[in-house]
Homo-oligomer: A and B are copies of this chain.
Amino acid sequence: METVSTSKAYGGTQGVYRHASTATGTDMTFAVYVPPHDEGAQLPVLWFLSGLTCTHANVMDKGEYRQACAELGVILVAPDTSPRGDDVPDDDAYDFGKGAGFYVDATEEPWAKNFRMRSYLEDDLPALIGAEFPMADMARQGITGHSMGGHGALTIALRNPDRFRSVSALAPIVSPLQCPWGEKALGGYLGQDRMAWRAYDACALIEDGARVEGILVDQGDADGFLEEQLKPELLAKACQTAGIDLTLRMQPGYDHSYNFISTFLPDHVAWHATRLKLQAGL
Protein backbone atom coordinates (compact mmCIF):
# COMPACT_ATOMS: atom_id res chain seq x y z
CA MET A 1 0.00 0.00 0.00
CA GLU A 2 1.28 3.43 -0.98
CA THR A 3 0.30 6.58 0.88
CA VAL A 4 -0.81 9.22 -1.62
CA SER A 5 -1.50 11.93 0.96
CA THR A 6 -2.38 12.49 4.58
CA SER A 7 -3.82 15.61 6.19
CA LYS A 8 -4.96 16.35 9.70
CA ALA A 9 -8.70 16.93 10.04
CA TYR A 10 -10.85 17.17 13.17
CA GLY A 11 -7.96 15.87 15.21
CA GLY A 12 -7.58 12.72 13.10
CA THR A 13 -6.00 11.86 9.77
CA GLN A 14 -7.66 11.98 6.36
CA GLY A 15 -5.52 9.79 4.16
CA VAL A 16 -5.57 8.71 0.53
CA TYR A 17 -3.91 5.42 -0.37
CA ARG A 18 -3.23 3.29 -3.43
CA HIS A 19 -2.63 -0.42 -3.84
CA ALA A 20 -2.43 -3.04 -6.55
CA SER A 21 -5.73 -4.91 -6.40
CA THR A 22 -5.72 -8.59 -7.23
CA ALA A 23 -9.51 -8.43 -7.65
CA THR A 24 -9.55 -5.76 -10.38
CA GLY A 25 -6.05 -6.28 -11.75
CA THR A 26 -5.48 -2.55 -11.46
CA ASP A 27 -4.16 -0.01 -9.02
CA MET A 28 -7.00 1.18 -6.82
CA THR A 29 -7.17 4.41 -4.82
CA PHE A 30 -9.20 4.80 -1.64
CA ALA A 31 -9.63 7.22 1.26
CA VAL A 32 -9.53 6.41 4.97
CA TYR A 33 -10.35 8.77 7.81
CA VAL A 34 -8.89 7.66 11.13
CA PRO A 35 -10.28 9.69 14.05
CA PRO A 36 -8.18 10.75 17.02
CA HIS A 37 -7.75 7.78 19.34
CA ASP A 38 -5.68 6.44 22.18
CA GLU A 39 -2.71 4.30 21.32
CA GLY A 40 -3.75 0.69 21.07
CA ALA A 41 -7.44 1.54 20.69
CA GLN A 42 -9.58 -0.60 18.38
CA LEU A 43 -12.11 1.40 16.35
CA PRO A 44 -15.14 0.31 14.35
CA VAL A 45 -15.00 0.68 10.57
CA LEU A 46 -17.74 2.28 8.46
CA TRP A 47 -17.61 1.79 4.69
CA PHE A 48 -19.06 4.48 2.43
CA LEU A 49 -19.75 3.43 -1.16
CA SER A 50 -20.19 6.28 -3.61
CA GLY A 51 -22.56 6.84 -6.49
CA LEU A 52 -22.25 7.13 -10.25
CA THR A 53 -19.35 9.21 -11.62
CA CYS A 54 -17.64 9.40 -8.22
CA THR A 55 -14.17 8.41 -7.09
CA HIS A 56 -12.96 8.03 -3.50
CA ALA A 57 -12.62 11.82 -3.43
CA ASN A 58 -16.23 13.02 -3.69
CA VAL A 59 -17.38 11.99 -0.24
CA MET A 60 -13.97 12.85 1.18
CA ASP A 61 -14.34 16.40 -0.12
CA LYS A 62 -18.07 16.97 0.31
CA GLY A 63 -19.44 14.36 2.72
CA GLU A 64 -18.87 16.19 6.02
CA TYR A 65 -18.42 12.94 7.95
CA ARG A 66 -15.21 13.77 9.81
CA GLN A 67 -16.70 15.68 12.73
CA ALA A 68 -19.07 12.82 13.57
CA CYS A 69 -16.36 10.20 13.05
CA ALA A 70 -14.00 12.15 15.29
CA GLU A 71 -16.57 12.59 18.04
CA LEU A 72 -17.73 8.98 17.91
CA GLY A 73 -14.45 7.24 17.20
CA VAL A 74 -15.34 5.67 13.85
CA ILE A 75 -13.00 4.96 10.92
CA LEU A 76 -14.53 5.75 7.52
CA VAL A 77 -13.30 3.99 4.38
CA ALA A 78 -14.28 5.40 0.97
CA PRO A 79 -13.35 3.21 -2.01
CA ASP A 80 -13.47 4.12 -5.69
CA THR A 81 -16.51 3.10 -7.75
CA SER A 82 -14.73 1.15 -10.49
CA PRO A 83 -11.34 0.09 -11.76
CA ARG A 84 -9.33 2.85 -13.45
CA GLY A 85 -6.52 3.11 -15.93
CA ASP A 86 -5.83 3.37 -19.65
CA ASP A 87 -5.96 -0.41 -20.05
CA VAL A 88 -9.41 -0.70 -18.46
CA PRO A 89 -12.36 -0.80 -20.89
CA ASP A 90 -14.77 2.11 -20.67
CA ASP A 91 -18.02 3.46 -22.06
CA ASP A 92 -18.85 7.05 -22.94
CA ALA A 93 -21.98 7.01 -20.76
CA TYR A 94 -21.84 8.31 -17.19
CA ASP A 95 -23.77 5.30 -15.95
CA PHE A 96 -21.70 2.44 -17.36
CA GLY A 97 -17.99 1.61 -17.35
CA LYS A 98 -15.53 3.66 -15.33
CA GLY A 99 -17.16 5.41 -12.38
CA ALA A 100 -20.11 3.02 -12.64
CA GLY A 101 -18.91 -0.37 -11.42
CA PHE A 102 -22.23 -1.09 -9.67
CA TYR A 103 -20.38 -3.26 -7.13
CA VAL A 104 -20.69 -6.41 -9.24
CA ASP A 105 -18.27 -9.05 -10.53
CA ALA A 106 -18.84 -8.70 -14.26
CA THR A 107 -19.10 -11.85 -16.35
CA GLU A 108 -19.54 -10.28 -19.78
CA GLU A 109 -16.68 -9.22 -22.03
CA PRO A 110 -14.82 -6.88 -22.11
CA TRP A 111 -15.74 -6.11 -18.49
CA ALA A 112 -15.08 -9.43 -16.75
CA LYS A 113 -11.35 -8.98 -16.33
CA ASN A 114 -11.34 -5.70 -14.36
CA PHE A 115 -14.90 -4.86 -13.26
CA ARG A 116 -14.83 -7.02 -10.15
CA MET A 117 -15.92 -4.52 -7.51
CA ARG A 118 -17.82 -7.17 -5.53
CA SER A 119 -14.63 -9.17 -4.97
CA TYR A 120 -12.73 -5.97 -4.40
CA LEU A 121 -15.05 -4.94 -1.56
CA GLU A 122 -15.81 -8.38 -0.17
CA ASP A 123 -12.26 -9.72 -0.12
CA ASP A 124 -9.47 -7.54 -1.40
CA LEU A 125 -9.85 -4.15 0.26
CA PRO A 126 -11.08 -5.35 3.69
CA ALA A 127 -8.06 -7.66 3.90
CA LEU A 128 -5.80 -4.71 3.12
CA ILE A 129 -7.51 -2.45 5.65
CA GLY A 130 -7.22 -5.10 8.33
CA ALA A 131 -3.53 -5.57 7.58
CA GLU A 132 -2.49 -1.94 7.13
CA PHE A 133 -4.61 -0.13 9.75
CA PRO A 134 -3.91 -1.77 13.11
CA MET A 135 -6.50 0.40 14.89
CA ALA A 136 -9.27 -0.92 12.60
CA ASP A 137 -11.43 -3.47 14.40
CA MET A 138 -12.60 -5.60 11.48
CA ALA A 139 -14.96 -7.45 13.83
CA ARG A 140 -17.04 -4.27 13.96
CA GLN A 141 -17.87 -3.15 10.42
CA GLY A 142 -20.82 -1.15 9.15
CA ILE A 143 -21.60 -0.10 5.59
CA THR A 144 -23.47 2.74 3.93
CA GLY A 145 -23.51 4.47 0.59
CA HIS A 146 -25.29 6.84 -1.76
CA SER A 147 -27.38 6.01 -4.83
CA MET A 148 -25.41 3.32 -6.73
CA GLY A 149 -23.33 3.12 -3.55
CA GLY A 150 -26.48 2.65 -1.49
CA HIS A 151 -27.27 -0.30 -3.75
CA GLY A 152 -23.73 -1.53 -3.11
CA ALA A 153 -24.05 -1.16 0.66
CA LEU A 154 -27.40 -2.93 0.86
CA THR A 155 -26.43 -5.84 -1.38
CA ILE A 156 -23.00 -6.39 0.17
CA ALA A 157 -24.51 -6.32 3.66
CA LEU A 158 -27.32 -8.70 2.70
CA ARG A 159 -24.84 -11.16 1.23
CA ASN A 160 -22.46 -10.86 4.22
CA PRO A 161 -24.54 -10.64 7.40
CA ASP A 162 -21.69 -12.08 9.48
CA ARG A 163 -19.30 -9.35 8.40
CA PHE A 164 -21.45 -6.27 8.86
CA ARG A 165 -23.13 -5.31 12.11
CA SER A 166 -25.02 -2.37 10.62
CA VAL A 167 -26.20 -1.17 7.21
CA SER A 168 -27.77 2.05 5.99
CA ALA A 169 -28.11 3.95 2.73
CA LEU A 170 -28.75 7.43 1.36
CA ALA A 171 -31.05 7.60 -1.66
CA PRO A 172 -30.15 4.04 -2.70
CA ILE A 173 -31.01 2.19 -5.87
CA VAL A 174 -33.00 -0.53 -4.12
CA SER A 175 -33.76 -2.76 -7.08
CA PRO A 176 -31.59 -2.70 -10.22
CA LEU A 177 -33.96 -5.31 -11.68
CA GLN A 178 -36.68 -2.65 -11.66
CA CYS A 179 -35.03 0.57 -12.88
CA PRO A 180 -33.28 1.83 -16.04
CA TRP A 181 -29.86 2.30 -14.39
CA GLY A 182 -29.95 -1.30 -13.20
CA GLU A 183 -31.27 -2.73 -16.46
CA LYS A 184 -28.43 -1.12 -18.35
CA ALA A 185 -25.63 -1.88 -15.90
CA LEU A 186 -26.52 -5.41 -14.86
CA GLY A 187 -27.42 -6.32 -18.42
CA GLY A 188 -24.08 -5.00 -19.60
CA TYR A 189 -21.94 -6.53 -16.88
CA LEU A 190 -23.83 -9.79 -16.26
CA GLY A 191 -25.69 -10.53 -19.50
CA GLN A 192 -29.37 -11.10 -20.07
CA ASP A 193 -30.00 -13.97 -17.63
CA ARG A 194 -31.87 -11.96 -15.04
CA MET A 195 -31.58 -14.71 -12.47
CA ALA A 196 -27.89 -13.83 -12.26
CA TRP A 197 -28.86 -10.28 -11.33
CA ARG A 198 -30.66 -11.29 -8.16
CA ALA A 199 -27.44 -11.45 -6.11
CA TYR A 200 -27.06 -7.75 -6.93
CA ASP A 201 -30.56 -6.56 -6.11
CA ALA A 202 -31.41 -5.71 -2.48
CA CYS A 203 -35.10 -6.48 -2.89
CA ALA A 204 -34.43 -9.77 -4.69
CA LEU A 205 -31.87 -10.80 -2.08
CA ILE A 206 -34.45 -10.22 0.65
CA GLU A 207 -37.10 -12.11 -1.32
CA ASP A 208 -34.61 -14.95 -1.69
CA GLY A 209 -34.05 -15.13 2.07
CA ALA A 210 -31.21 -12.74 2.93
CA ARG A 211 -31.66 -10.96 6.25
CA VAL A 212 -30.07 -8.12 8.24
CA GLU A 213 -31.10 -6.84 11.66
CA GLY A 214 -32.23 -3.43 10.51
CA ILE A 215 -31.76 -0.83 7.81
CA LEU A 216 -31.75 2.99 7.93
CA VAL A 217 -32.54 4.79 4.67
CA ASP A 218 -32.80 8.54 4.08
CA GLN A 219 -34.36 9.70 0.84
CA GLY A 220 -35.02 13.26 -0.33
CA ASP A 221 -38.48 13.81 -1.74
CA ALA A 222 -37.14 16.42 -4.20
CA ASP A 223 -34.67 13.89 -5.62
CA GLY A 224 -35.02 13.93 -9.40
CA PHE A 225 -34.23 10.19 -9.60
CA LEU A 226 -36.76 9.15 -6.98
CA GLU A 227 -39.61 7.84 -9.08
CA GLU A 228 -37.81 6.34 -12.05
CA GLN A 229 -34.62 4.95 -10.51
CA LEU A 230 -34.67 4.76 -6.71
CA LYS A 231 -38.15 3.56 -5.71
CA PRO A 232 -37.71 3.15 -1.95
CA GLU A 233 -41.24 1.77 -1.73
CA LEU A 234 -39.95 -1.46 -3.25
CA LEU A 235 -37.50 -1.87 -0.39
CA ALA A 236 -40.19 -0.98 2.12
CA LYS A 237 -42.43 -3.71 0.72
CA ALA A 238 -39.64 -6.31 0.66
CA CYS A 239 -38.63 -5.48 4.24
CA GLN A 240 -42.21 -5.57 5.46
CA THR A 241 -42.81 -8.97 3.92
CA ALA A 242 -39.53 -10.30 5.33
CA GLY A 243 -39.92 -8.75 8.77
CA ILE A 244 -36.80 -6.61 8.44
CA ASP A 245 -36.83 -3.47 10.57
CA LEU A 246 -36.49 -0.71 7.94
CA THR A 247 -36.42 2.93 9.02
CA LEU A 248 -37.21 4.85 5.82
CA ARG A 249 -37.12 8.60 6.32
CA MET A 250 -38.47 10.71 3.48
CA GLN A 251 -36.70 14.07 3.82
CA PRO A 252 -38.81 16.94 2.51
CA GLY A 253 -37.15 19.25 0.00
CA TYR A 254 -33.86 17.39 -0.33
CA ASP A 255 -32.37 16.51 -3.72
CA HIS A 256 -29.84 13.85 -4.81
CA SER A 257 -26.71 15.97 -4.28
CA TYR A 258 -24.00 16.18 -1.67
CA ASN A 259 -26.08 18.84 0.07
CA PHE A 260 -28.42 15.98 0.93
CA ILE A 261 -25.61 13.54 1.72
CA SER A 262 -23.68 15.96 3.95
CA THR A 263 -26.83 16.87 5.86
CA PHE A 264 -27.63 13.28 6.81
CA LEU A 265 -24.33 11.37 6.66
CA PRO A 266 -23.31 12.53 10.17
CA ASP A 267 -26.56 11.07 11.44
CA HIS A 268 -25.77 7.78 9.71
CA VAL A 269 -22.32 7.76 11.30
CA ALA A 270 -24.02 8.11 14.69
CA TRP A 271 -26.56 5.41 13.87
CA HIS A 272 -23.79 2.99 12.92
CA ALA A 273 -21.64 3.98 15.90
CA THR A 274 -24.45 3.11 18.29
CA ARG A 275 -24.85 -0.32 16.75
CA LEU A 276 -21.15 -1.05 16.32
CA LYS A 277 -20.43 -0.18 19.92
CA LEU A 278 -23.48 -1.94 21.33
CA GLN A 279 -22.77 -5.11 19.45
CA ALA A 280 -19.27 -5.27 20.81
CA GLY A 281 -20.58 -4.77 24.31
CA LEU A 282 -18.83 -1.39 24.60
Contact = CB atoms under 8 A, between A and B. Distances in A.
A254 interface: yes
A7 B64 contact: no
Given A66-B262, A262-B66, A255 B8 contact: yes
A259 B62 contact: no
A257 B7 CA distance: 8
A222 B6 CA distance: 12
Interface residues of A, number: 23
Nearest to A254: B8
Nearest to A65: B64
Contacts of A255: 7-8
Main secondary structure of the interface of A (DSSP, over half): mixed
Nearest to A222: B8
A50 interface: no
Given A62-B61, A62-B62, A259-B14, A253 B8 contact: yes
**3 nearest A-B pairs in the assembled complex, by CB-CB distance:** A9-B259, A7-B259, A8-B253
